[in-house]
Amino acid sequence: HGRLDILVQNAGIYPWQLIENTSPEDWDRVMAVNLRGSFNATRAALVPMKAQRHGRMLFTSSITGPHVTSPGHGHYSATKAGINGLIRAAALEFAGYGITVNGVEPGNILTEAIELHRGAAYIQNMQDSIPLGRLGSPRDVANAFLFLASDDASYITGTTIVVDGGQLLPEGKDFRLLPP
């Protein structure tokens, strides 16, 4: 058997569905993919990482759930808040084996799916809510993962890096009143 040095857990589904219209089966499906899938991968990766006394477990979380939410994202928000709890618990439990556990919390990221399914008005509205004035790119998120997987992050565990262009910072849209 080979080594397993880095696990990046990035599976997730993001259906839009109001809580009142969410069946227990719909809820369970989102929980199974977003949260139970990460739990299962964590347990599987622990075996070789524990044996080699080294590893990096990385999770894709989100700003949605741990920090903010919006209508239709109840189940998704619950899973991402749960991921952050799993990150902290696993970091504490696995630290003695030389395993660090961290996550990345992306904000609005410009992906092909966003461009295809949301359109220009949505993208502009999102850009207007971000102090840096643009949506993030997949590369922005990847760079956070690369850092957390590197030796430069060997003393970081049990936390997340928010990659959101400052989206969580303002209390409202008053930031647009600041001079450039």
- What residues are labeled active site? 76
Token pair for residue 38? Answer: 């990460």
Q: How big is the chain, counted in residues?
A: 180
Half-sphere exposure of 60 (CA within 13 A, CB side): 19
Q: How far apart are CA 16 and CA 72, in angstroms?
A: 5
Token pair for residue 141? Answer: 């998120």
Q: How far apart are CA 1 and CA 150, in angstroms?
A: 23
Q: What angle do CA 32, 38, 42 make, to 5 degrees?
A: 140
Secondary structure letter of residue 176 according to DSSP: G
Q: What separation, in Å, do the N-terminal and C-terminal C-alpha atoms of the chain show? A: 55
